[in-house]
């Protein structure tokens, strides 16, 4: 089979007989990585449901009885990998659409198109994860503050703010306020996002039901 469906909604496909980039293994690796992270967090959610974190809670905040570091890291890794994966899908689309070779990626005008279109694409699919990646996962906003970051965002970027809200582990479910400035981070749940995007991007990868 020469065609790999990358985005079933926007009809973006990878033609393995006409690859725009040689040895494009990263598109396959990222999908496996996202699935592995979703499986890991879903196991923890099932463990909570079954009493592995104590009497089954409706909510847990500011740390868990176990695996806090793993859970927080999975959210960061997932956000970075998802954004990279989606940007690559859009790049592949642009290369086919414009009949670009990799040499065309060095053209100044094309660089601007790629950046603009990739950001537009990922923000249309997962804007809350795009923000988490930029303000927490790739680097803490407090270590690279921008003029747009308020004090709540800068402080919360350092907090590892993953909570449990039945039935999901959730990022930024509570927003930190400092000096009357509420954090600009947006709430998202890793396994819910994986399931929501499954049919569009990776129908072959499933996780257990909660």
Q: What ranges do the domains of the chain cover?
A: 3-201
In SS3 terms, 54-72 reads as: ECCCCEECCCCCCCHHHHH
Residue partners of 118: CB distance under 8 A and separation at least 6: 86, 87, 90, 91
State both tokens at 2: 């020469």
pLDDT at residue 98, as a whole number: 97
pTM of structure: 0.94
The pairs formed by 106-112 with CB atoms below 8 angstroms and a separation of 24 or more are none
pLDDT at residue 140, as a whole number: 96
pLDDT at residue 1, as a whole number: 53
* Widest pairwise Cα distance in the chain: 59
C-alpha span between 24 and 15 (Å, rounded): 11
State both tokens at 83: 């954004």
Ordered per-residue pLDDT tens for the chain, 210 residues: 588 999 999 999 999 999 999 888 898 899 999 999 999 999 999 999 998 887 767 767 666 778 889 999 999 999 999 999 999 999 999 999 999 999 999 999 999 999 999 999 999 999 999 999 999 999 999 999 999 999 999 999 999 889 999 999 999 988 899 999 999 999 999 999 999 999 999 999 999 999
């Amino acid at each position: 089979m020469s065609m790999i469906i990358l985005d079933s909604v926007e009809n973006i496909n990878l033609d393995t007989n006409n690859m725009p980039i040689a040895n494009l293994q990263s598109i396959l690796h990222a999908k496996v990585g996202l699935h592995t992270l979703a499986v890991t967090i879903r196991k923890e959610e099932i463990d909570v449901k079954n009493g592995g974190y104590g009497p089954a809670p409706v909510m847990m905040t500011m740390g868990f009885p176990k695996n806090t570091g793993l859970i927080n890291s999975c959210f960061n890794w997932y956000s970075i990998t998802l954004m990279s994966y989606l940007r690559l899908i859009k790049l592949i689309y642009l290369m086919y659409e414009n009949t670009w070779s990799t040499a065309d990626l060095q053209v100044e005008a094309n660089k601007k198109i790629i950046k603009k279109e990739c950001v537009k694409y990922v923000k249309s699919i997962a804007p809350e994860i795009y923000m988490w990646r930029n303000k927490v996962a790739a680097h803490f906003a407090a270590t690279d503050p921008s003029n747009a970051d308020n004090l709540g965002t800068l402080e919360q970027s350092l907090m590892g703010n993953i909570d449990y809200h039945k039935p999901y582990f959730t990022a930024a479910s509570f927003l930190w306020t400092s000096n009357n400035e509420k954090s600009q981070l947006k709430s998202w749940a890793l396994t819910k996002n994986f399931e929501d995007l499954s049919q569009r991007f990776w129908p072959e990868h499933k996780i257990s039901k909660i």
